[in-house]
Structure formats: C-alpha cells, structure tokens
Structure 1
Amino acid sequence: MLPFFRKKRDGKPKMEGNESTVSSEELLNETSDTEGREKQIDTDLSFHPDWDVSKEDQYSFQFLNMECPPLAPNQISLSGISLQHNEEQGSVQVTAFIRSSLNKTIKLHETTLVLLDSSEQVLGRKTMDLEEAGDIPPCSSRPWNMTFSEQELFTTDIPSEGWKLAFQLKPSSRKHSLDLQNSWEQSLAEKDKHELQNMVERLDPPKPGEVNFMGLKAVQKDNGDLHVTLLIRNGSEKNVTLEQIPLQVEDADGTTVAKGGFTMNDFGIKANTSKPWTFIFPSSMVQEGEIDLSSWKAYPIQKNTAH
C-alpha cells in the first residue's frame, strides 16, 4: 500500500481532491430524524479498527478532517485526500474520507465509484465493496483507500489535484409514492392515508427532474382565511428542500383571489414522492367579497404556470 500522504514542503497536509455529496436516502435508503438537530454537522474522525495508523498520520488525518466543510443532515460524502500513482502497475490509489451526517451507524455495500476531473470528465470507474470499510459511526469521517487499476482508468493523464471521487447512483426503480410529514402521519386517519396513496399511484408521475404542484382542496373559513391544500410532486431522483414558496390562487373566474409567500422550515420532499401540505392565506391576503371555488388553481408565482 502506498503512503497516505505526500510530504509537503511546509510539512502540512493538504486536501488534494474535492468533495462530492449524496443523499443518504438515495445511496442507502436510510435517513435519521432531523428534529432538533443542527443544520450543519461536523464529522468526527473514525479509523477502521484494523488500521494501524502512525501518530504522525493520525495528526494529519485529524488536521484534514477539520478542514472539511460541515454536512447537512442525511448526507454521505466522499472528500478527496490524496491521489498517488503506482507507476509500475499503472494504477492510482485514492485516499478519501467517507463522511456521514446520519445520527446512526451505517454500513456501505457494493457500489460504483467514478473518478472525475475538475471539469466533471470521467477519468475512471470502479465497482467495489465498501462494506470492507466497516461500520461507520454516527456523524463520522472515515479515511479509506480505493485503488483504480490500469483497466479501470480511462486515461493516463490523471491530475494529482482538483479531482473528485463520487458515487455513481443507479436510476431509481421505485414507484412514485406518498410522502407524509410527521404531523400528517400522526393526525391523518388511516382511511385518508390510503386514499391519498391510491391517488398518488393512479396519477401519471411527474416528468424526471420536475417538481410541480397539484391542487387538492380549497376552503374559505368563516373568518375569511383561505386554506389551500396542494400535493407537491417531486419527479427528481434527489430529495428536494423548499425554503420559500410564493403562491398565487385563482378562482373559477380566473381572478387572482389570494397571493402570498410562505417560509418553510426544513420542508423536504423525498426523491420520487408527493407530499400534501395545507397553505393558509390569512384574510388580509384574500380578496374581499364572494369567491367561486367550484374550480380553482394555485401555482408558484415565479413560474406563472398553473399546475
């Protein structure tokens, strides 16, 4: 095995590669509860129990781990430490941190990794069993070596810096399904959950990569507030987080009857799912007088397109 680091003139180690990040839901079908957790999570250094690491290398790994940026909840990342050439074999050894922000232990499995240059061009591809990296503790960062053989590299022009190691995810084969926020999961009757799930499965799924809004119910209360329930549909293979949702509502006459912006708190829609949510327009945002809700539509203002 090659050394972990090349000696630098000033004696300080340096992260030679960049970082790539994926959702733990995409990679492992795993998430952890984000309630009460920090939005930015630092990872603690963790060595494989079979690794015999010198004090000098331990210091270097600790120094580099502190240089890594925090992760968001439910993320797995690969942070490039070093890339070293084995001239005799024509291979390269890539050392990277496998980082997890989940608050539970994880184990990786067989996966395909790609080696990319700074322009996202694929330099090499390798399928390997990362289960050998062992149990990765909660919110931790584990250094690991991955060797690309001459046959797994597509070029001999491999840069020593500015590269990136990334997971190559397979397209999801899951059916588009219902995703309920915890508050809805706890308060909604089982019958209503089943009806929603059946409706989501009957509908044509959103186009790949598309996020759209579908109206479910609109009711004006006695105090003048307008309650609009929408189905937010994520056709992407990635989880989506919405922070600001500016909405406009039109009634049966095509008249704009309500308009307003909603600030969402950690509001995510998982990959390939639809999530219902009720938006409440206070009476001050609602047009005075009679509103015909026999038919209506609501849509994000910036798109200016009905869904």
Structure 2
Amino acid sequence: MIPFFRKKGNGKPKMEGNESTVSSEDLLNESADTASSEKQIDTDLSVHPEWTISKEDQYSFQFLNMECPPLKPNQISLSGISLQHEEAGQYQITAFIRSSLNKTIKLHETTLVLLDSSDNVIGRKTMDLEEAGDIPPRSSRPWNFHFTDQDLFTKDIPEEGWKLAFQLKPSSRKHSLDLQDSWEQSLAEKDKNQLQEMVEKLDPPKSGEVNFMGLKAVHKEEGDLHVTLLVRNGSAKSINLEQIPLQVEDANGEVIAKGGFTLKDFGVKANTSKPWTFIFPKEMVTDGELDLSSWKAYPVQKNAAH
C-alpha cells in the first residue's frame, strides 16, 4: 500500500479532492431519522480497528477531518483526500466515508464514480464496501479505494479537484426538495414539510430537463412584483445558475414584468427542486392592475426580445 498523503511544501496535509453527498434514504433505502433538530453535524474521526497507522498519519487524518464541512442530518458523503498513481496502471484513492446518522451503518456492494472538476464521469467501478466495516454514528472513516486503467475512461487523471461519488440507482432516487441555506434557516418546519410534500407529489421533470414552476406572485402596494418559483432540475448533475432573464405573463397572456437577475452561489442539486423569490422592481412592472388569477413566469433568451 502506498502512503496516504503526498508531502506538501509546508508539511501539512491537504484535501486534494472535493466532497460528494447523498441522503441516507437514497443510499441505504431506509427512512430518514427526523428526531434530530440539529442543522449541522460534525463528524469524529474513526480509523478502522484493523488498520495500524503511524502517529503522523493519525494526526494528518485528524487534521483533515476537522477541515471537512459539517454535514446535514441523514447524509453520507465521500470526501477526497488523495489520488495517487501506483505502478502497472493501479490507482489508490483515499477518501473519508462520512456519516451524520445517529446510528452505526454498514455499506455493501456499491458502484462508485470518479468525477473531474466539471463533474464529468472519468471512471466507474463496483466495489464491496463491507470491508470498510461498521461506520459509527456521526463519524468519518478514512478508506482506500482502488481503481485500474480498465475502470477509467481517460488517462488524464487530475491530482486535485476530483470527486469520488456514489452512483445511485435511478429507481432509488426520487425527486426531492433542495433549500438554499437562507431558506433552511428562515422557513418554519411546517412550511418545509408542505414544500417537500408538494415536490414529491408533482410529476418530476424529464431526465436532463431544467424548468421553472410558479408558486406565488404578489403585487406589492409600492409596485414591486414578488414572484416565487420552483427551479426544477431533472438532470443527474448539479447545476449552477448565475444569470436568469425572466418574464411574467398574467391571466390574459400579457407580459406584465420582465428583467434579468444575477444570482450568487445558486446551485440546484441533481434531481431536486429549489424555491426562490425573484423581486421585479416597480420600473420593471406594467402600470395598473395586474390579473394574477393565473400567471406564469419563464426564462427568455436574449435574442427573443423585440
């Protein structure tokens, strides 16, 4: 076995890969634990009982584990530590298996994918992860994953910015709600549950499709128009939206508001829907009474403007 870490100039270990996260419900096919009210969960280092490692490696794993961001309840993640090329077409990927669950879990045969920094799949392998042993509650277990040239789709393997991820079976991935942190913190649990139920009852978007569904439109006394939409991602990849040109039509099919919105760090995870409120200032809204008994909002192409 090759070393876990490459030596850095400052002598400190560094996470060379990124983190991928799935819900325990999707991966383990079991109901989520709703008892915990915590929004963020830190994981404690858990080295496999049969591993014998040096004090230096123990310190390095402890240091890197503390660098990992907290998990949300009912999440399991893979956090990339290092990807090293062994001889004869062998690759060793070291990553943390992290769990925020309040109980011990055990993984079984699972398909893993290796992604580059743009989330393109550059490798795939089915592995039996029972050897990783029992993963204690709220813990982070370092483990080595071995790939060969036959498991990889390219010879251009990045040393940094890659990601190891669980490949979920399509049948186990139901479309779910994704909330921005600000919404997660401000929405009442009752409202979150209503949104989740609505998302689950709706027909999911087609595979690879991204669309917008209207939830609420309010014309304020000062003239602003507040439009809440559900951004629905039917893709198997997360998307990041930076600029959205939107227009709104009223019950008569007339365009009553039009404008461009610049978003910061607005990502929508794969196979999820995320609500967001877009505020059209008074100057972007048609004068007079608006018939909002029915309405729709949708993105427009720049070249579609007349």
TM class, shorter-length: 0.5 to 0.7
| Residue 132 of structure 2 is aligned to residue 128 of structure 1 | no
Change (3 A) 1:261 1:158: closer
1:197-226: CA deviation from partner (whole Å, max 9, x where unpaired): 65x23xxx4343332112355465788675
Residue 98 of structure 1 and its aligned partner are, at CA, apart by 1.7
Q: Give % identity.
A: 51
Task: Give, as a single letter, the amino acid of the residue that structure 1 aligns with 2:100.
Answer: L
Corresponding residue SS for 2:125 = strand
| Residue 72 of structure 2 is aligned to residue 76 of structure 1 | no
Q: Which residue of 2 aligns with 1:233?
A: 232
TM-score (norm 2): 0.61
Report the Cα distance in structure 1 between the residues aligned to 2:77 and 2:295, rounded to whole angstroms: 42
The 8 Å contact of residues 259 and 284 in structure 2, kept in 1 or not, is answered as yes
Matches within 5 A, 1:1-307: 2=1, 4-5=3-4, 12=11, 18-25=16-23, 27=27, 37=39, 44-63=44-63, 65=65, 70=69, 73=72, 74=75, 76-81=77-82, 83=84, 85=86, 90=88, 92=90, 94-100=92-98, 102=100, 104=102, 106-114=105-113, 125-137=124-136, 140-148=139-147, 166-167=164-165, 169-170=167-168, 172-173=170-171, 177=175, 179=177, 183=187, 186=190, 200-201=202-203, 205-215=204-214, 218=217, 220=219, 226=225, 228=227, 230-238=229-237, 247-251=246-250, 252=252, 254-257=254-257, 271-274=270-273, 286-293=285-292, 295-300=294-299
The 8 Å contact of residues 4 and 95 in structure 1, kept in 2 or not, is answered as no
Residue 173 of structure 1 and its aligned partner are, at CA, apart by 2.7
Corresponding residue SS for 1:79 = strand
The 8 Å contact of residues 43 and 100 in structure 2, kept in 1 or not, is answered as no
Report the Cα distance in structure 2 between the residues aligned to 1:237 and 1:61, rounded to whole angstroms: 31
Corresponding residue SS for 1:298 = strand
After TM superposition, the structure 1 stretch with the greater mean CA deviation from structure 2, 286-295 or 296-305, is: 296-305
1:86-116: CA deviation from partner (whole Å, max 9, x where unpaired): x6xx574625122437364554332223567
1:187-206: CA deviation from partner (whole Å, max 9, x where unpaired): 5998x9988765x23xxx43
Corresponding residue SS for 1:4 = coil
Q: Which has the larger radius of gyration?
A: 1
Change (3 A) 1:241 1:151: closer
Task: Give, as a single letter, the amino acid of the residue that structure 2 aligns with 1:52.
Answer: T
Task: Give, as a single letter, the amino acid of the residue that structure 1 aligns with 2:145.
Answer: M
Corresponding residue SS for 2:170 = coil
Task: Give, as a single letter, the amino acid of the residue that structure 2 aligns with 1:97.
Answer: A
The 8 Å contact of residues 250 and 258 in structure 1, kept in 2 or not, is answered as no
TM-score (norm 1): 0.61
Corresponding residue SS for 1:49 = coil
Task: Give, as a single letter, the amino acid of the residue that structure 2 aligns with 1:81.
Answer: S
After TM superposition, the structure 1 stretch with the greater mean CA deviation from structure 2, 180-189 or 50-59, is: 180-189
Report the Cα distance in structure 1 between the residues aligned to 2:285 and 2:248, rounded to whole angstroms: 9
Q: Which runs of 5+ in 2 are unaligned?
A: none
The 8 Å contact of residues 17 and 82 in structure 2, kept in 1 or not, is answered as no
Residue 133 of structure 1 and its aligned partner are, at CA, apart by 1.5
1:223-272: CA deviation from partner (whole Å, max 9, x where unpaired): 867564544322123466879977542333523347586989x9886643
The 8 Å contact of residues 109 and 131 in structure 1, kept in 2 or not, is answered as yes
Change (3 A) 1:112 1:295: closer
Report the Cα distance in structure 1 between the residues aligned to 2:120 and 2:262, rounded to whole angstroms: 39
Report the Cα distance in structure 1 between the residues aligned to 2:274 and 2:119, rounded to whole angstroms: 33
Change (3 A) 1:48 1:193: closer
Change (3 A) 1:160 1:292: closer
Report the Cα distance in structure 1 between the residues aligned to 2:253 and 2:55, rounded to whole angstroms: 74
Corresponding residue SS for 1:132 = helix
Task: Give, as a single letter, the amino acid of the residue that structure 1 aligns with 2:82.
Answer: I
CA RMSD for the aligned pairs?
5.5
The 8 Å contact of residues 22 and 77 in structure 2, kept in 1 or not, is answered as yes
Residue 48 of structure 1 and its aligned partner are, at CA, apart by 1.4
Corresponding residue SS for 1:173 = helix
Corresponding residue SS for 1:24 = strand
The 8 Å contact of residues 83 and 160 in structure 1, kept in 2 or not, is answered as no
Report the Cα distance in structure 2 between the residues aligned to 1:6 and 1:268, rounded to whole angstroms: 31
